[in-house]
Chain A
């Protein structure tokens, strides 16, 4: 009777709850797995996407990015949205890859999220790190977005330049305007250019590297991108 109930409830749970924590490297205790699973379920339902954590003992030569893509297609979904954090203990590789609309929301933060989770991994605080991942993949709210934007230099520089132009314009006329120029007192037609020389000296060339954004094309026509690193 008890056993039956257990099996039945297990089957029921299996149907409704998708496995999202794949701890091959055995970094998490059972209770940690449960709480992580619950948290990932919550965000997955909330944003209609699949969020997955995968730990590996070793990769056997495949790249972590390849592994992460394959693993997500297998255990997450093939056409929808989501994100995966994958680590491999032997290579100390970590990868964060996002798909579909989660990728669109997080594409500028791939490195940031990967690095912030990576710090937890380095400290061997695996559970805290994966919970942090579940928190980080939430699309930022309005103020969250502003906080993220404040982390970029472009709006600060834009504000600085804009302010400098406006303040400069207002302060420029502070004493009045000097309107006398080189032609004010010139006798009209009196200027004579006696000789003019333009001699070619040299050509200098500078090359600066333009960093191109890396975004990998995902399968199934959805956009995706990942960031890999060591921890």
Chain B
């Protein structure tokens, strides 16, 4: 059986995870279930989830059938949890969560789709240089809640930075202003450890936007269970651990560089001339983290916004209104000048 549907223990209707209750809820009889109550009891099922041999690849089936109505389930690309387009039954494609695709962790959704829209509308209003008609649009073209595949990296970083630190003091001597700068060669050697640096494992999610919705609150991190996927869209990764690691390493290096720069003797200004930081003991865990992907069309161009499905933090390709920018900048510049000049004239500074 490659498609999994979770059923209500009372009326056997399909059930989905309810974000507000943080429980599984039956739409028909309103019964609520905790995770333990709907977990599979069969040894073969649970055994597969715990003791999986990651080297064995499950054969990928081309076609899935809905357990409720028997219709063919259409799966786009890497979809691992989806809905039957005919009967709207939530369906979880097991093979896309097993073998090498079995996630270690999941953070369940905390933000509902309605909340996500509200968060977005509030957020976009505060973008000062966004075009007004884009800000006031009360509709979004497309929003979908998605369990995004993520790699969470643990690693150690060690290395050094070298550069120059400068301290200046300045005083007046007669008709001259004297500035004395002391230059120091600085070198800092150190190491640190990092936990669960997230890198998204999907080619279709732009990395620069995904950094913007970080951090996730890892207190909400749970061991993965298929049950959480029921009622949501989910994707399996198409960026493997090694490729994701190459995205993570420069970030970890930068973290240590910044920490080293701020350690030891402090200077008024520091220039780093060389650094070498090694990343080792890399451990990756595959996780499903909740996001909303929202797209809005503006002047024929698609603008993508990502909302953290746990914390609501938003980041996106806000369109930039250059006309507004230029008018505002010029207006502010002239106003500031006139206020300064008027103030100067009234106070007789000049």
Contacts and interface: CB of A to CB of B under 8 A. Distances in A.
Contacts of B179: 205-208
A30 interface: no
B28 interface: no
B318 A193 contact: no
Contacts of A158: 336-337, 340
Contact of A155 (B172, B191, B329, B340): B340
Most buried by B among A173, A183, A193: A193
B164 interface: yes
B264 A185 contact: no
Nearest to A206: B179
Contact-size category for B: 35 or more
A5 interface: no
A195 B212 contact: no
Interface string B258-271: 11101111000000
A207 B194 contact: no
Interface string A148-182: 11101001101110110011001101111111111
Interface in B295-349: 313-318, 320, 325, 328-329, 332-334, 336-338, 340-342, 344-345
Nearest to B337: A159
Given A149-B341, A194-B191, A182 B263 contact: no
Contact of A176 (B129, B176, B197, B315): B315
Nearest to B317: A175
B180 A205 contact: yes
B175 interface: yes
A9 B214 CA distance: 95
A160 B184 contact: no
B345 A142 contact: yes
A173 to B, nearest CB: 7
B188 interface: yes
Interface in B242-262: 254-260, 262
A150 B176 CA distance: 28
B329 A167 contact: yes
A187 B157 CA distance: 11
B336 A174 contact: no
B189 to A, nearest CB: 4
Nearest to B218: A185
A198 interface: yes
A214 B133 CA distance: 58
Contacts of B320: 174
A167 B345 CA distance: 26
Given A146-B342, A176-B314, A200-B184, A185 B195 contact: yes
Contacts of A152: 350
A108 interface: yes
Contacts of B194: 185-187, 190
B336 A163 contact: yes
B259 A182 contact: yes
A148 B316 CA distance: 47
B342 to A, nearest CB: 7
B86 interface: no
A159 B333 contact: yes
Interface in B29-44: none
A209 B172 CA distance: 10
B176 A192 contact: no
Contacts of B178: 205-207
Nearest to B263: A193
A196 interface: yes
A184 interface: yes
Nearest to B165: A198
B332 A166 contact: yes
A60 B81 CA distance: 104
Contacts of A207: 176-179
A201 interface: yes
Given A146-B345, A155-B341, A193-B190, A185 B332 contact: no
B307 to A, nearest CB: 10
A177 B179 CA distance: 37
B316 A199 contact: no
Contact of A198 (B186, B316, B329, B350): B186
- What are the 4 A-B residue pairs with the smallest beta carbon separation, nearest first? A176-B315, A145-B345, A190-B193, A182-B258
Interface of A: 108, 142, 145-146, 148-150, 152, 155-156, 158-160, 162-163, 166-167, 170-171, 173-187, 190-210, 212
Given A142-B345, A180-B214, A183-B259, 12 more contacts: A145-B344, A155-B344, A167-B328, A173-B127, A176-B213, A182-B262, A185-B255, A193-B260, A193-B263, A194-B158, A196-B186, A208-B177
